[in-house]
Structure 1
Amino acid sequence: MSHQIDIEKVRADFPILSRKVNGHPLVYFDNAATSQTPKVVIDAIVEYYEQYNANIHRGVHSLSQEATDAYEQARETLRAHFNAAKKEEIIFTSGTTHGINLVANGFASQLKAGDEVIVSALEHHSNIVPWQMLCEKTGAQLKVIPMTNSGELAMDAFHELLSDKTKLVFVNHVSNALGTINPIETIITEAHKKGAAVLIDGAQAAPHIKADVQALDVDFYVVSGHKMCGPTGVGILYGKEEWLNKLPPYQGGGEM
């Protein structure tokens, strides 16, 4: 039996869709770039500012404690969603790009001239430029997995690129341009055989695929809230505890 979706009921969850553009009801198809925000999320943001806006982890007064509890509950919710082993492995960021740069900055202390970093030809600029900058800084070499005519990664080439010099492999879970679902399970397994760490960009995958980071055995996984019906300016970096302890702090100050 086919499941009928009540389109008007779904649209009613998103206040912005009551707008008219050029005299017509708004039809928004750019969700892969930024999804619209449902009323329940807007209400939660408003409730925070109206009821318990305060510094987290920095006060003993009631509002600070309530804000801290809400913050940590959000972290636990995300830990459960992605099946991280510990909630401390979930780091709040400003988005996927921030998470990628955080890891790239940390690996500046792990790489030396002659080491290699592998990315794919399917990557977003946010997934290429930080690694180019990292290689310029450390003397490491950037290797690129080519793409086939069908828009998929050339896995034979990936296996040839992998070597004992490979220290980090970075690919997206789902391509932002083509929608290609990459074989990240194979990529993670093969990279680990060479002792390389793996960072997966889950920005496009997370709204559709519930990644189990423990089952994947991935070292880092990054997502953005604004592609998952969340607010802009928030995202998460999942990192295995052992790797988070190896990498130096990204910045100094509170919540470093």
Structure 2
Amino acid sequence: MLEKELMLDIQKIRKDFPILNREVNGKPLIYFDNAATSQTPQQVIDCIVDYYSRYNANIHRGVHTLSQEATDAYEEARIKIQQHFNAAKPYEMILTSGTTDSINLVANGFASLLKEGDEIIVSALEHHSNIVPWQMLCEHTGAVLKVIPMFESGQLDMETYVSLLNENTKLVFCNHVSNALGVINPIEFIIEKAHEVNAAVLIDGAQASPHIKADVQALDVDFYVASAHKICGPTGVGLCMERKLAQ
């Protein structure tokens, strides 16, 4: 009985995605690139069409009916995202254009806070967009960038990570799940150890969010970022959960 309950109705799921009605090279489309960009279900497409068809307007910048309706829908979406990630307050969920934009938002925010001699730690498993902003930040501030190495298995070397931490460590950045290897990193341990030296932590949840429902309060993470286009949402939408500094 349990096996039957766990079985997925693949054809029913496929019907939610109109693009899967296409044929490629004379065969029904089978899409395996969801880790890069997931396809969009009809329910999301309908929601977007409804918005542009009925109440498209500026949010937070108008007193007319359409603007008020658009603003209400925008804030309702923020609350749903807050509840999904279990953030304490809706205002902790900053809506951005994607994970890369969220990471750059945090990096730019720290540009005036870091000084020469401060240290930033990233992992060897990071996506390019979670490396370059910190390299540029170090060039701008004089801070030092350090890297957590990984073993041949793809696992991060936690012993070396702990040895890198010190009173000069201000920021630690790591992906929740590697986009290249699919490795699930021990972010609970990474966050705990970083906080022992009063360093802030940003977790890149772009690859994890489709599969792991992160509880940002339980993780005690300072920043958690993700993109909608990897979790069946629209392109050009992302989030930056900022918890500690909002309190």
Give the structure-2-normalised TM-score.
Answer: 0.97
Gaps of 5+ in 1: 246-256
2:169 maps to 166
SS in 2 for 1:99: helix
Residue type of the alignment partner of 2:29: L
Give the aligned partner of residue 42 of structure 2.
39
SS of the residue aligned with 2:72?
helix
- Paired residue for 2:150? 147
Which of 114, 131, 139 matches 2:117?
114
Given the alignment, which residue of 88, 102, 108 partners 2:91?
88
Q: What is aligned with 1:235?
A: 238
Tell whether 2:155 aligns with 1:177: no
- Tell me, yes or no, if structure 1 residue 65 matches structure 2 residue 33: no
- CA distance in 1: counterparts of 2:7 and 2:121, whole angstroms: 44
State the distance in 1 between where 2:184 and 2:12 align: 30
Matches within 5 A, 1:152-231: 152-231=155-234
**Structure-2 separation of matches of 1:93 and 1:130:** 16
Which residue pairs with 2:54 in the alignment? 51
Aligned-partner residue type, residue 211 of structure 1: A
Structure 1 CA distance, aligned partners of 2:144 and 2:14? 48
CA shift digits 1:131-154 (9 cap, x unpaired): 000000000000000010110000
Q: CA RMSD in A?
A: 0.9
SS in 1 for 2:32: coil
Structure 2: which 5+ residue stretches go unaligned?
A: none
TM-score by length of 1: 0.94
1:243 deviates by 2.0
The alpha-carbon deviation at position 5 of structure 1 amounts to 1.4
**Distance in 2 between residues matched to 1:57 and 1:128, nearest whole Å:** 34
The Cα shift of 1:4 comes to 2.1
2:130 is aligned to: 127
Query: Matched residues in 2 for 1:73 and 1:104: separation?
Result: 28
Partner-residue secondary structure (3-state), 1:207: coil
Q: Which residue of 97, 100, 116 maps to 1:97?
A: 100
Please point out which of 16, 29, 32 is paired with 2:32: 29
Determine what percentage of the aligned residue pairs are the same residue. Answer: 72
CA distance in 2, matches of 1:81, 1:28: 26
Output the CA distance in 2 between the equivalents of 1:108 and 1:99.
Answer: 15
CA distance in 1, matches of 2:7, 2:116: 58
Report which stretch shifted further, 136-145 or 3-12. 3-12
| Code of the aligned partner of 1:56 | I
1: CA distance, partners of 2:57 / 2:18: 27
Cα distance in structure 2, aligned partners of 1:153 and 1:5: 33
